[in-house]
Amino acid sequence: RGFIQSYLIRYQPNDDRKRQIYIVSVPATDSSVVIDGLDPDKSYSVSISASTNAGQGNFTEVIIVDEQESSLFQLRVGPFTSCEEWSISIENSIKSFIRSVLVYTVKDYCDCGFLDSFIANETLLCDTQNPTQAVYRAQVFNFGSISSTQIVSWIEDWVLNGASVTSGPILVTFDPTCPVPLNSIN
């Protein structure tokens, strides 16, 4: 009845008393999609429908997607001139830079398609004892069959082996004395 033109992904949190349903349209040329804004502590009901010239097909049976395992980690980074007077845009640029470096690093370890969307809840805290350094904290989620603890282990190994990154004239180093795995973000 025609070629598939797009897919509709219907999802809703399983504990949502409002029973609000969300729908995302995905072009048929896309082989995957990342749905942003999901709460990793919730499970979701998901179903998919294909659309052709003849119209939209029936939705699949509901698939339950459970909360995703995640691990917390931190990195001490620097040197900076001083992190005490950073603006939000500078802070966001540094977080984005670190996230990009981490994605590249994880991809190097696993030779996989790890994405920055598997890193969330980032904070960047100025070290008040040493304002030339900051502590980056974040949460990383399982990626396919790779556990979040394995990903943190790779990041820790990279830091312990003298991690540093050059961005233009700036050399950013990652302090190997700062413990990488965390039990809580506080």
Give the separation between CA 140 and CA 148, rounded to whole angstroms.
6
Secondary structure letter of residue 163 according to DSSP: -
Quick one: 145 exposed, middle or buried, by C-beta within 10 A (0-12, 13-18, 19+)? Answer: exposed
For the chain, 186 residues long, give each residue's pLDDT as a single digit of tens.
678 999 999 988 887 677 788 899 999 888 777 787 777 667 788 899 999 988 899 998 887 776 667 888 999 888 888 888 888 888 888 898 899 999 999 998 888 888 888 898 899 998 888 888 889 999 998 877 788 889 999 999 988 888 888 776 667 788 887 878 777 555
Report which secondary-structure segment, H or E, holds 107: helix 88-110
pTM given for the model: 0.63
